Amino acid sequence: MTPARSRRPGAPTRTERGIPEATVARLPVYLRALTALSDSGIATASSEDLATAAGVNSAKLRKDLSYLGSYGTRGVGYDVEYLRYQIAREIGVTQDWAVVIVGIGNLGHALANYSGFGTRGFRIVALLDAAPELVGERIGDMVVRDFAELEEIVAADRVSIGVITTPAGPAQEVCDRLVAAGVTSILNFAPVVLSVPDGVDIRKVDLSIELQILAYHEQRKSGEAALPEVPELPAINGLPDLPSVGGGVGA
Amino acid sequence: MTPARSRRPGAPTRTERGIPEATVARLPVYLRALTALSDSGIATASSEDLATAAGVNSAKLRKDLSYLGSYGTRGVGYDVEYLRYQIAREIGVTQDWAVVIVGIGNLGHALANYSGFGTRGFRIVALLDAAPELVGERIGDMVVRDFAELEEIVAADRVSIGVITTPAGPAQEVCDRLVAAGVTSILNFAPVVLSVPDGVDIRKVDLSIELQILAYHEQRKSGEAALPEVPELPAINGLPDLPSVGGGVGA
DNA sequence: CCGATTTTGTTCTCACGTTCACAAGCTCCT
DNA sequence: AGGAGCTTGTGAACGTGAGAACAAAATCGG
């Protein structure tokens, strides 16, 4: 008998079934690890095993899983198949999601050919591009269609996820069209910051940014002490003395 | 251990020139925004302008920039060119970074053709694949070379960044080879968790995971009250007796 | 030259995320 | 049956990041 809304005073005020964003981002990793274990014929795994497979530490994994419920068995571990189903259900990949890809350049081609889509809950229902010379091209078992057909396709196939692989220029306009057509989740590969109304989720994948982040760390590794500390653009208004640590500037 | 008088009592104990990771991840976005402003002929921008262009709020932007130094002018804003140079220098994209791409499938092709590389500090020095039928293929102005040549190329061109676009299977082995050859930063597109020794940075780009994260939120939007809250799964209590991974505890 | 105005740089506070440590609970052995 | 040995689930401490608010500094008009 669980009382309808009784919450202990010290409870962390977690929204009803609200899972922290950081945890949500890791659930797909756990799902993949579980699938790998399952394929290896392993039926039970401890949090330590799973954590190793997923590349996180076991405490974090246990806490993450605890947001879903108590699906483990103390002293034993987790049943791989059972947990896999629970995570898949939580994420929503037990159902099929219709996806459109807009922008059939190099990257669009690659994604269209990527087999990993259909395997787990996602189904590409259309490849769209506005360039007449691309429309009609066959890619795998699909044909590129005109971007003008977007609204029709979204309505017909209940498309809720759009992938933007256009260049930066038309990306915002494509995004607006997607949203207007009823798409409420967007995965953006174009190197621009897209703005969307509330209620629309957007995620960004940006190769260039990833490389730059790596470059930053790389620079710190190699140039540990060889950095050009002071740029060659000196006289910018006699900057306030930075060396704060020594403090003996005026002494 | 305590240095005599090196730090003010209230100082946030920030490592010398150590920039928070969250800030590092945003610097490339600022850099891009500044480049866009610069291309539009804008010479000065306030934190509000920049923040809008970068899709963050102005307080966060100012705080981020403050880690680099005091490059703005109170009452005026930031000089676009000057700030752009400072951020580029901090990230390390004022120098050129040699990059190898391993795995010339669909995605590898797409990246090889992607022009955005050379434009900003990154230079692809080799496309590598182990499949004999791919070696020798021309892509743009490059030719696919044999993966066996990796060590030679890394040494000759001072390659510090490797991009893995192989399938999941060979990814870890490719990764190990890269690391052994001297690569210290890896960008991984393969859907596996790679393990690398300390000192090697690794970042992961995973389409499937991004889609799953979107699916989770999508499910919560559409199924607000229509979720099968409790799956009432068939007697999982009577679990199939747990053959147990380790062959039984202490057995 | 001085005050009004603008905008940065920084401090303070709060929320979120990670990690530790341990009680609760399950299985197995004696 | 009862205790020993594991492993989960979670409370608490800790660290990092975000946002509000404000003092400091620069420009501009009078």
**How far apart (Å, rounded) are the C-alpha atoms in residues B241 and B239?**
5
Q: β-pairing, B185-188 with B161-164? A: parallel
**How far apart (Å, rounded) are the C-alpha atoms in residues B33 and B31?**
5
pLDDT band at A245 (very low <50, low <70, confident <90, very high): very low
Closest CA to A189 of B124, B206, B54, B91: B206
pLDDT band at B240 (very low <50, low <70, confident <90, very high): very low
User: How does pLDDT run across B33-66, given as a tens digit for each residue?
Assistant: 999 999 999 999 999 999 999 999 999 999 999 9
pLDDT band at B199 (very low <50, low <70, confident <90, very high): very high
What is the pLDDT, as a whole number, of residue B114? Answer: 85
Return the residue matching tokens 């920049």.
Answer: B50
**How far apart (Å, rounded) are the C-alpha atoms in residues A199 and A179?**
10
Mean pLDDT of chain B: 85
User: How does pLDDT run across A82-130, given as a tens digit for each residue?
Assistant: 999 999 999 999 999 999 999 999 999 999 998 777 667 999 999 999 9
Q: Kindly state the percentage of chain B with pLDDT values over 90.
A: 78
**How far apart (Å, rounded) are the C-alpha atoms in residues B208 and A203?**
12
What is the pLDDT, as a whole number, of residue A224? Answer: 57
Mark yes or no for CB contact B208/A97 under 8 Å. Answer: no
Mark yes or no for CB contact A214/B33 under 8 Å. Answer: no
Residues of chain A with C-beta less than 8 angstroms from the C-beta of B120: 208, 212
Q: Is the pLDDT of residue A175 over 60?
A: yes
Q: How far away is chain A from the Cα of B149, in angstroms, using its nearest Cα?
A: 23
Closest CA to B159 of A175, A85, A222, A148: A222
Nearest to A187 among B55, B116, B214 (CB): B214
Window 129-158 of chain B: CB closer than 7 A to strand D: none
Within 7 Å: CB of A103 and strand D? no
**How far apart (Å, rounded) are the C-alpha atoms in residues A42 and A27?**
19
Q: Is the pLDDT of residue B138 over 70?
A: yes
What is the pLDDT, as a whole number, of residue A247? Answer: 30
Measured over the CA atoms of residue A102, residue B115, residue B52 and residue B16, the dihedral's sign is positive
B79-CA/D30-C1' distance, Å: 28
φ/ψ of residue B75, rounded to 5? 85, -10
**How far apart (Å, rounded) are the C-alpha atoms in residues B200 and B202?**
7
What is the pLDDT, as a whole number, of residue B118? Answer: 62
Closest CA to B20 of B56, B58, B71, B67: B67
φ/ψ of residue B134, rounded to 5? -95, -30
* Mean pLDDT, residues A33-54 taken together: 97
What is the pLDDT, as a whole number, of residue B244? Answer: 32
**How far apart (Å, rounded) are the C-alpha atoms in residues B40 and B32?**
12
Mark yes or no for CB contact A122/B28 under 8 Å. Answer: no
What is the pLDDT, as a whole number, of residue B62? Answer: 98
User: What's this model's pTM, rounded to 2 decimal places?
Assistant: 0.86
Q: Kindly state the percentage of chain B with pLDDT values over 70.
A: 81
B63-CA/D21-C1' distance, Å: 14
pLDDT band at B25 (very low <50, low <70, confident <90, very high): very high
Mean pLDDT of chain A: 85
Interface A:B, Cβ pairs < 8 A: 216
* Mean pLDDT, residues B145-163 taken together: 98
- Sequence-distant (6+) residues with CB within 8 A of B187 are A207, A210, A211, A214, B161, B162, B163, B164, B202, B203, B204, B205
Within 7 Å: CB of A74 and strand D? yes
User: How does pLDDT run across A2-14, given as a tens digit for each residue?
Assistant: 333 333 333 333 4
Mark yes or no for CB contact A91/B215 under 8 Å. Answer: yes
Q: What are the DSSP calls for B8-75, one per residue? A: -TT---PPTTPPPHHHHHHHHHHHHHHHHHHHTT--EE-HHHHHHHHTS-HHHHHHHHHTT---EETT
Closest CA to B203 of B188, B191, B219: B188
Residues of chain A with C-beta less than 8 angstroms from the C-beta of B27: 212, 216
Q: Give, to the nearest 10 degrees, the angle between helix A21-39 and helix A47-54.
A: 100
DSSP A239: P
